[in-house]
C-alpha cells in the first residue's frame, strides 16, 4: 500500500512517515497503554497497571518501548503526599512533534484534521466539492488540495505527518486499501490507498466511513467508557460500526457491517447499489428525495442535495401530510433496522450518528417505542440508545484515529 | 446454577460432577490444547505447539495440567525414524472413565447422547414427546426420564457424569441458565438449568439450540478446519450460530444471533413470538403449514406436525402449483436471510443445517443465485455454502460439547 521508494522520492525525512503495519490489530497491549495514557492526559505506571489489569512488569516494558519510540515521555507527577524519596513520575503523550491527518470524503464537501499524537487537533479545513461520482484520479487530486490547505493552515510540512487515515462510504477493504465500490467513485475496485500514498508520500489507511466514526467514538467519544457498542449512521447512506472488546469488528473477512444493504423487503424499493429492498433505500437522503419527487413534485435531480431534505423536513413540521408520511415511514424503517441490530448483536449501547440525526423523526420516542416493539426482549434491560449530532470533523477525527492506531502499531509492532 | 449440596444428596461420588465455571470462555489455551489433541486422536507436544502456534514451554505446562487433572494421558508415539534415545511420546484423551450428557429438546422428540471425554459417543436415546408447550416441571421430568434411559442403555451410573449440556430453541441465557422465552415452555423466564441440576445432581449448562449445533460443527464437524464460520438452521424455527476466531459469538450481552426474529418486512407475517415480519414467519414449519391451511384447505391444527410439511413438499414436487408457490417463497426468504448474514458478518462459510434441509427448495441453485443477487459482493469471492442434513443426535452431540467445554474449563480454570 505504501511505497517507501516513492516516499523517499517525495523528499520525506526527519520525523516523517512510519512504515505501516500489515496487521489489522489496533488493540495490542502497547496500543492499549498508549490509548490509556492519551485518554487520561497523564498517568503513572501504577495507574496504567490498575486501569488495564496488567502486571507492573508488563507496564514497565511496554512504557519503555513507547518512550524509546517517541510516543510517551516522563513528567513529574503531582505528589499525593509529602515524603522523601524520588519524586513521583507520570507518563504523557509527546506533544507537537509528530502528527497524523484524518480525512472524511463526502458528497458535498471533504473534511480534514491534523491531529498530534496526543489526539489534540492542530488544524482543520473543509473543501466544498460537487456531489457526483468522479474518477478516482480526480478524487486523489481533491485530497491533495485538501492536504495542502490543511498543512498551510497549520504552518506544517508533510515531513511531520506520520500517516493519513481516510473514511469513505461504500465497500472498503481496510486490509488492502482497495475500494470495490463507493458511491463517490466512478468505476469499481480502485486502489485508493496506494494512489493516495503515491500522491502524498505518506502511509495511507482507508476504511468505511461508519468504521472511522466508530473509531472516533472509541478514541474520543462516549465509547471511551465502553468495551462493546454499536454505531448506526444515517446520512447519504446508512452505515454501521461495531466495537467488541474494545476493538473494531469488521466481519470475518473484513467487510461486514453493511447494515444499509441488508434487505428489509423482498423485491422492495430500489437502492443506489442497484439491488432492491436495502434498508437505506427507505431511509437515506436519496430515498426521501425520491419520495418527495413522487408526492410533492420536487425535481428528482435534486436528490443529492441535502437542502432538499431540510426543506422537506420543514414542510413536514409545518403540517404537510405528504411530507410527514415520508419521514414517518423512514423512522419506522430505522426502528426496524435498529431492532435487527439488537436481535443479532445484542449491544448494550447503540450510538445513532450522522447528519440526519438533526431530524427528530429519526430518534423520536415513537421510533424508539417501535424499535422496542420489534425486538424480542422478554423482560431484559433494553439496549441504550444515544444520539450524537456530529459534524464531518468528528468523522475526520476518527480517520485520524485510524492513522494514529496504524502509526503506533507500525512502530511498536502491534 | 449448580448446587453442590443437592449433588451430594443425590449420592454423587467418585468420578462425579465437576464444579461448573461461571466463565463464558470456552476458548482458553488449555481448552484449545485439549480440543487439538481430541481432534487429532493423538498428538506429540511438538505437534501441539506447531498446530496452535504457541511455545514448547507453554505446551509443556498446559499438557502437564491436563494430565494431572485426568483429561489427557501419555502414550507411546509411532516412531518416525529408527534411532536411540527415549521412545517418542504422544498425548491422547483419557477414554471411558468420565462422560458428559448432551440433550436436544424439540417439539416431537427429545434426543440424548452420552459422550466420553474423547468425544466418542457411548450411547444415545430418543424420547418421543407431545408437541405442545408444557410447564417447565413437566419438561424437567421428561429430561429425567431421558437421562435414566440413556444411563440404562449405556450401563452407567449418574456418578460418572461430569456434566450435562442442553440445547433448546428460544431465547436462552447461557450465563445464568435462565430461559426468558422458548416455544417449548409454557411460561416465561424459567430457571431451567437450576431446576435440571437440582433434579439430576450434575452441573447443567444450557444454550440456544442453534448455538449447540454450531458447537457440534466446531468440535466434530466441518467447522473443525475453520476458525470463522456461520451456521443457519431451519426447523420449527430459524436459528443462527457464529464462530469467530474458534469461539462461539453470542452477541455483546450474550443473547444475539436471533436471525429468525430479525424483521424482513414492516407489518409483515405474524410470528410465533407475537411480532410481525420475522424471518421465520416466512420460512419455518409453522409458516408453511399456515399457508397450506389457506391455499390447500389443510387443517391449521396440524401446524406443529412435520408430516404435514413432508406431504406438502411431495405435492409441490408432483406439480401442485399452490404447494410449489409456498416453497418458492420460503426459498426466496431464506436467500434474503442468508444475504443479510453475509452483508453483516462476511463469513467465509455458511453451513445450512436442520431437518428442513432435506427439502431441496431450501438449497436449490435458484436460492443460492438469489442470495448472491441480494448481496453486495462486488467481485469478491462469494461466501461458501455447505448443507448438512443432520439428525437430532448431532444437535445433542453439540450440547455434549457444551458440557465438555464447561467441564474442562471448570477443572482447568479456563
Q: Is A273 on the interface with B (CB under 8 A)?
A: yes
The pLDDT assigned to B18 comes to 28
CA distance B67 to B93: 9
**Nearest CB to A344; choose among B181, B266, B344:** B344
Bridge partners (DSSP) listed for residue A104: A111, A167
**Nearest CB to A252; choose among B240, B258, B345:** B345
- Phi-psi map region of B329: left, alpha, beta (phi>0 left; psi -120 to 50 alpha): alpha
Chain B residues within 8 A of A263 when measuring between CB atoms = 264, 336, 339-340, 374
Query: Residue A302 — pLDDT band, cuts 50, 70, 90?
Result: low
> Would you say residue A13 has pLDDT above 80?
no
The pLDDT assigned to A267 comes to 95
Share of chain B above pLDDT 90, in %: 40
The pLDDT assigned to B181 comes to 85
Average pLDDT, stretch B264-269? Answer: 96
Bridge partners (DSSP) listed for residue B91: B43, B74
The CA–CA distances, whole Å, from B239 to B16, B172, B256 equal: 33, 12, 11
Chain A residues within 8 A of B240 when measuring between CB atoms = 344
Question: Is 0.85 exceeded by the ipTM?
Answer: no
The CA–CA distances, whole Å, from A215 to A40, A174, A209, A396, A401 equal: 17, 13, 10, 10, 6
Which DSSP string corresponds to B147-168?
HHHHHHHHT--GGGEEEEEEEE
Give the dihedral of Cα atoms B18, B24, B30, B32; nearest 10 deg: 120
Q: Do B256 and A380 touch (CB under 8 A)?
A: no
DSSP state of B380: S
Chain A residues within 8 A of B252 when measuring between CB atoms = 228-229, 244, 345-348
> Would you say residue A262 has pLDDT above 70?
yes
The pLDDT assigned to A9 comes to 30
The DSSP H or E segment spanning B42 is strand B42-43
- The bridge status of strand A161-168 relative to strand A349-353 is unpaired
Q: Is A181 on the interface with B (CB under 8 A)?
A: yes
Q: Which of A213-217, B70-74, B126-130, B305-309 has the lowest mean pLDDT?
A: B305-309
Chain A residues within 8 A of B378 when measuring between CB atoms = 171, 180-181, 188-189
**Nearest CB to A252; choose among B228, B252, B261:** B228
Query: Residue A15 — pLDDT band, cuts 50, 70, 90?
Result: very low
Residue A172 grid cell: 472498503
Q: Do A346 and B250 touch (CB under 8 A)?
A: yes
Q: At what angle do helices B45-52 and B56-68 cross, to 10 degrees?
A: 120
Distance, in angstroms, between A229 CA and closest chain B CA?
A: 8
> Would you say residue B329 has pLDDT above 60?
yes
Q: Which of A5-19, B33-47, B342-356 has the lowest mean pLDDT?
A: A5-19
> Would you say residue B132 has pLDDT above 80?
no
The pLDDT assigned to A228 comes to 87
Over the stretch B193-212, which tens digit does the pLDDT of each residue have? Answer: 999 999 999 999 999 989 99
Chain B residues within 8 A of A373 when measuring between CB atoms = 275
Phi, psi for A389 (deg, rounded to 5) = -90, 85
Q: Do B263 and A180 touch (CB under 8 A)?
A: no
Residue B148 grid cell: 435414566
Residue B22 grid cell: 461461571
Greater pLDDT, B264 or B359: B264
Q: Is B258 on the interface with A (CB under 8 A)?
A: yes
Q: Do B244 and A261 touch (CB under 8 A)?
A: no
Query: Residue A206 — pLDDT band, cuts 50, 70, 90?
Result: very high
The pLDDT assigned to B9 comes to 30
- Phi-psi map region of B411: left, alpha, beta (phi>0 left; psi -120 to 50 alpha): alpha
CA distance B221 to B103: 18
Q: Which of A69-83, A230-244, B247-261 has the lowest mean pLDDT?
A: A69-83
Q: Is B270 on the interface with A (CB under 8 A)?
A: no
Q: Which of A34-43, B240-249, B273-282 has the lowest mean pLDDT?
A: A34-43
DSSP state of B190: B
Distance, in angstroms, between B63 CA and closest chain A CA?
A: 25
Q: Is A127 on the interface with B (CB under 8 A)?
A: no
Contact (Cβ atoms closer than 8 angstroms) between residue A80 and residue A379: no
Q: Which of A129-143, A395-409, B28-42, B240-254 has the lowest mean pLDDT?
A: B28-42
Contact (Cβ atoms closer than 8 angstroms) between residue A59 and residue A34: no
CA distance A60 to A29: 12
Chain B residues within 8 A of A179 when measuring between CB atoms = none
Average pLDDT, stretch B54-78? Answer: 85
What domains sit in chain A, N to C, each tagged with a CATH number?
Answer: 1-223+391-414 (3.30.420.40), 227-347+355-389 (3.30.420.40)
The pLDDT assigned to A34 comes to 84
**Nearest CB to B254; choose among A240, A262, A346:** A346
Which DSSP string corresponds to A359-386?
SGGGT-HHHHHHHHHTS--TTSPPPEEE
CA distance B165 to B214: 14
Greater pLDDT, A414 or A118: A118
The pLDDT assigned to A17 comes to 28
Over the stretch A16-44, which tens digit does the pLDDT of each residue have? Answer: 222 222 232 333 678 778 878 887 888 99
Q: Do A263 and B374 touch (CB under 8 A)?
A: yes
Q: Which of B238, B262, B274 would best serve as a mutation to test chain A binding (most A beta carbons within 10 A)?
A: B262
Q: Do A255 and B380 touch (CB under 8 A)?
A: yes
* CA neighbours closer than 13 Å in the CB half-sphere of residue A222: 16
The pLDDT assigned to B268 comes to 96
> Would you say residue A277 has pLDDT above 70?
yes
The pLDDT assigned to B4 comes to 33
Average pLDDT, stretch A381-404? Answer: 85
Average pLDDT, stretch A98-106? Answer: 93
Query: Residue A405 — pLDDT band, cuts 50, 70, 90?
Result: confident
Query: Residue B303 — pLDDT band, cuts 50, 70, 90?
Result: low
Query: Residue B413 — pLDDT band, cuts 50, 70, 90?
Result: very low
Greater pLDDT, B192 or A19: B192
Greater pLDDT, B152 or B412: B152
Chain A residues within 8 A of B241 when measuring between CB atoms = none
Greater pLDDT, A307 or B128: B128
Share of chain B above pLDDT 70, in %: 85
- The bridge status of strand B134-135 relative to strand B185-186 is parallel
Query: Residue B168 — pLDDT band, cuts 50, 70, 90?
Result: very high
Q: Do A344 and B378 touch (CB under 8 A)?
A: no
Amino acid at each position: 500500500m505504501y511505497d517507501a521508494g516513492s516516499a523517499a522520492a517525495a523528499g520525506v525525512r526527519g520525523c516523517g512517515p512510519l512504515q505501516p503495519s500489515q496487521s489489522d490489530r489496533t488493540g495490542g497491549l502497547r496500543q492499549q497503554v498508549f490509548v490509556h495514557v492519551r485518554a487520561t492526559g497523564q498517568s503513572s505506571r501504577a495507574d496504567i497497571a490498575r486501569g488495564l489489569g496488567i502486571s507492573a512488569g508488563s507496564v514497565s516494558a511496554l512504557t519503555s518501548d513507547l518512550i524509546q519510540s517517541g510516543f510517551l515521555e516522563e513528567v513529574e507527577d503531582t505528589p499525593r503526599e509529602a515524603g522523601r524519596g524520588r519524586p513521583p513520575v507520570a507518563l504523557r503523550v509527546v506533544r507537537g512533534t509528530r502528527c497524523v491527518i484524518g480525512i472524511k470524503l463526502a458528497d458535498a464537501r471533504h473534511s480534514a484534521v491534523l491531529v498530534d499524537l496526543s489526539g489534540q487537533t492542530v488544524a482543520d479545513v473543509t473543501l466544498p466539492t460537487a456531489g457526483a461520482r468522479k474518477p478516482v484520479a480526480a478524487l486523489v487530486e481533491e485530497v491533495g488540495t485538501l492536504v495542502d490547505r490543511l498543512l498551510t493552515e497549520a504552518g506544517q510540512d508533510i515531513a511531520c505527518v506520520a500517516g493519513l487515515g481516510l473514511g469513505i462510504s461504500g465497500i472498503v477493504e481496510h486490509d488492502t486499501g482497495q475500494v470495490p465500490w463507493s458511491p463517490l467513485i466512478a468505476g469499481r475496485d480502485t486502489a485508493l490507498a496506494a494512489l493516495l500514498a503515491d500522491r502524498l508520500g505518506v502511509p495511507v489507511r482507508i476504511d468505511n466511513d461508519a468504521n472511522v466514526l466508530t473509531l472516533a467514538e472509541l478514541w474520543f467519544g462516549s465509547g471511551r467508557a465502553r468495551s462493546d457498542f454499536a454505531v448506526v449512521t444515517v446520512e447519504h447512506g446508512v452505515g454501521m460500526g461495531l466495537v467488541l472488546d474494545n476493538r473494531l469488528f469488521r466481519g470475518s473477512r473484513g467487510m461486514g457491517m453493511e447494515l444499509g444493504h441488508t434487505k428489509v423487503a423482498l423485491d422492495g424499493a430500489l437502492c443506489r447499489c442497484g439491488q432492491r429492498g436495502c434498508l437505506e433505500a427507505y431511509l437515506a437522503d436519496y430515498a426521501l428525495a425520491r419520495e418527495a419527487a413522487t408526492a410533492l413534485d420536487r425535481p428528482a435531480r435534486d436528490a443529492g442535495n441535502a437542502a432538499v431534505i431540510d426543506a422537506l423536513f420543514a414542510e413536514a413540521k409545518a403540517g404537510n401530510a405528504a411530507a410527514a408520511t415520508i419521514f414517518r415511514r423512514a423512522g419506522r424503517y430505522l426502528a426496524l433496522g435498529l431492532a435487527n441490530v439488537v436481535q443479532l448483536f445484542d449491544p448494550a449501547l447503540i450510538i445513532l450518528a450522522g447528519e440526519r440525526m438533526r431530524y427528530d423523526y429519526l430518534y423520536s420516542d415513537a421510533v424508539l417505542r417501535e424499535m422496542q416493539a420489534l425486538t424480542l426482549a422478554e423482560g431484559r434491560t433494553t439496549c441504550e440508545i444515544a444520539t450524537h449530532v456530529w459534524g464531518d470533523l468528528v468523522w475526520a477525527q476518527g480517520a485520524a484515529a485510524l492513522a494514529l492506531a496504524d502509526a503506533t502499531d507500525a512502530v511498536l509492532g502491534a
